[in-house]
């Protein structure tokens, strides 16, 4: 086992574009780190730099304190599990798992190989499939074979690049639990790249958020969610995403396009005397159908009427959608934010979470309640991170 230290890592591909731009992350021995970010933000590149499949343009990579920039992948003793499993179709499950051991010729006796393969197969519940070929296995079983191959190597760390993205939702859930348990049981340092919000929030000790090759924040899932470092992180973490609403301050009221929201006491000082436009960041779960709010809680929030376009009932939860007109006066501010969030434009709708038994339906106006404590992120200002610009390609 080992710690992995990334110091100011930069990766520039041939076109000069910094796919990874000055990233420094310390992964402690035994830690489970998750890497997230939009497509193309450099997650795979960073992982491949760690494992040695990609040269490091500048910066240092240390494994257990030792600089390994120039070491070949096989000398770094890390195990990578890919999205497409990379199994050998003509080999049995047993031989697929044994493969990395046979590759290091002479290092392991036949008995040792057998012992290691069987131990891995027991851990991964693959005993009854050892003689089968990958083509005859389910996606989840194939994924476990790929894990087995990583385990037998006694690697110092596991690196996962979206290992579950080919699986259906149910299997994903199962494998997620298995990976979490396995990692905890083995206590092996792991870096895990994912697009999946649930994986990001549940699997790891800490989550690192990347945007255009630049590290935005690295923190526990709870901290990312509750204290995002900037608007990008606020908008990226959480599903459905945080709503961003422009608001004008008039006395003690935020005039928003979906209704008047009383300025919570906690932020009164911050906004008093300002008649500027601010951006409210409000998470869906901070709203509720006012009929379902405890009487004791009512004074801790603000209730206002809004027009719903439609609702989505998911059995155990429900979401309501409120459309609004974008305020032209703040358009430039929202466009800037949209760019920051990698979106074409800011959606002009608010998603609110409603009790599953709420009777609010599309096409009607209803009273909704907003938790005042929700304003932790109430007036985020766009944070300028140096945008990585691609050099024009010369023809
Ligand atoms: N071999 C390459 N040559 C040139 N540019 C590359 C190469 N590989 C990746 N890139 C660029 O580097 C950036 C980061 O790519 P990377 O594959 O690391 O993103 P990612 O975060 O893993 O995305 P995804 O979530 O889609 O897998 C992208 O802009 C991509 O186009
Ligand atoms: Mg990738």
Q: Are residues 223 and 256 in the same domain?
A: no
13, 196, 211: residue to mutate for ligand 1 pocket, most atoms within 8 A of CB: 13
Same domain, 224 and 153: yes
What is the CB neighbour count within 10 angstroms for residue 165? 14
Q: Is 381 left (phi over 0), alpha (psi -120 to 50) or beta?
A: beta
35, part of any domain: yes
Residue 86 lies inside a defined structural domain of this protein: yes
Residue 26 lies in a domain: yes
64 and 176 fall within a common domain: yes
C-beta of residue 271 within 8 angstroms of C-beta of residue 284: no
For ligand 2, the distance from its centroid to the CA atom of residue 333, given in whole angstroms, is 31
The HSE-up count of residue 16 (CA atoms within 13 Å, CB side) is: 6
Q: What letter would DSSP give residue 381?
A: -
Give domain status of residue 109, yes or no.
Answer: yes
Is residue 224 domain-shared with residue 247, that is, in the same domain? no
For the chain, the distance separating the N- and C-terminal CA atoms, rounded to the nearest angstrom, is 47
Identify whether 104 is part of a domain: yes
**Residue 20: which CATH number?**
3.40.50.300
Q: Which helix (H) or strand (E) holds 117?
A: helix 110-123
By CB atoms closer than 10 A (0-12, 13-18, 19+), residue 5 is buried
The first and second tokens of residue 342, run together, are 């990698």
Residues 177 and 254 in one domain: no
Does residue 384 form part of some domain? no
Domain residues for 327?
A: 240-377
**Ligand 1 contacts CB of residue 41 (under 6 A):** yes
Q: What's the total number of domains in the chain?
A: 2
Asked if 3 and 64 count as a contact pair (C-beta separation under 8 A), the reply is yes
* Mean pLDDT value across the chain: 87
Element (H, E) at 253: strand 253-256
Q: What are phi and psi of 27, to 5 degrees?
A: -105, 115
Q: Are residues 282 and 328 in the same domain?
A: yes
88 in contact with ligand 1, CB cutoff 6 A: no
Q: Give the separation between CA 120 and CA 343, rounded to whole angstroms.
A: 44
Q: In terms of domains, do 228 and 290 share one?
A: no
Last residue within a domain, chosen from 235, 268, 300? 235
Q: Write down the pTM of the prediction.
A: 0.86
Answer whether residue 219 is part of any domain.
yes
pLDDT digits (tens, 9 = 90+) for 165-211: 878 888 888 888 888 988 888 899 999 999 888 899 999 999 999 99
Q: Assess whether 202 and 262 both reside in one domain.
A: no
Burial class (CB in 10 A: 0-12, 13-18, 19+), 69: middle
pLDDT score of 303 more than 50: yes
Whether 386 maps to a domain, the answer reads no
- On whether both 231 and 252 belong to a single domain, the answer is no
Q: Find out whether 107 and 49 touch, Cβ atoms under 8 Å.
A: no
| Choice among 56-65, 180-189, 338-347 with the minimum mean pLDDT | 338-347
Q: Where is pLDDT greater, at 89 or 342?
A: 89
- Helical pair 93-103 and 110-123, crossing angle rounded to 10 deg: 130
Confidence at residue 49, expressed as pLDDT on a 0 to 100 scale: 97
Which residue among 219, 235, 251 closes a domain? 235
- Which of helix, strand or coil describes residue 306? strand
pLDDT tens digits along 5-56: 999 999 999 999 999 999 999 999 999 999 999 889 999 999 999 999 999 9
């Amino acid at each position: 086992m080992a710690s992995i230290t990334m110091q100011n890592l930069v990766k520039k591909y041939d076109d000069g574009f910094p796919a990874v731009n000055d990233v420094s992350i310390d992964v402690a021995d035994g830690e489970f780190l998750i890497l997230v970010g939009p497509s193309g933000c450099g997650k795979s590149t960073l992982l491949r730099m760690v494992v040695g499949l990609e040269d490091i343009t500048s910066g240092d990579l240390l494994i257990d304190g030792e600089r390994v920039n120039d070491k070949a992948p096989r000398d770094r003793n890390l195990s990578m599990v890919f999205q497409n499993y990379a199994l050998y179709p003509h080999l049995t499950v047993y031989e697929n798992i044994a493969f990395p051991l046979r590759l290091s010729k002479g290092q392991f006796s036949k008995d040792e190989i057998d012992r290691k393969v069987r131990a891995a197969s027991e851990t991964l519940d693959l005993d009854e499939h050892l003689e089968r070929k990958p083509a005859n296995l389910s996606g989840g079983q194939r994924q476990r074979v790929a894990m087995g191959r990583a385990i037998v190597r006694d690697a110092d760390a596991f690196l996962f690049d979206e290992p579950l993205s080919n699986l259906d939702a149910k299997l994903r859930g199962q494998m997620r639990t298995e990976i979490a348990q396995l990692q905890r049981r083995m206590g092996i340092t792991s870096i895990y790249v994912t697009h999946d919000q649930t994986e990001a929030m549940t699997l790891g000790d800490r989550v690192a958020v990347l945007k255009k090759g630049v590290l935005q924040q690295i923190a526990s899932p709870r901290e990312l969610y509750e204290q995002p470092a900037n608007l990008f992180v606020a908008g990226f973490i959480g599903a459905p995403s945080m709503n961003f609403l422009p608001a004008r301050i008039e006395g003690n009221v935020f005039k928003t396009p979906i209704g008047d929201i009383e300025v919570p006491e906690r932020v009164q000082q911050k906004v008093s005397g300002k008649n500027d436009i601010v951006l409210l960041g409000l998470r869906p779960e901070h709203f509720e159908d006012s009929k379902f709010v405890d009487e004791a809680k009512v004074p801790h929030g603000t209730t206002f009427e809004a027009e719903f376009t439609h609702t989505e009932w998911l059995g155990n939860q429900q979401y309501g959608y409120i459309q609004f007109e974008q305020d032209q006066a703040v358009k430039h501010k929202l466009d800037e934010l949209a760019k920051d969030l990698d979106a074409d434009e800011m959606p002009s709708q608010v998603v609110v979470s409603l009790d599953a038994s709420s009777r609010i339906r599309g096409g009607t106006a209803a009273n909704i309640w907003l938790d005042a404590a929700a304003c932790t992120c109430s007036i985020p200002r766009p944070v300028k991170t140096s945008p990585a610009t691609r050099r024009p390609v010369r023809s």
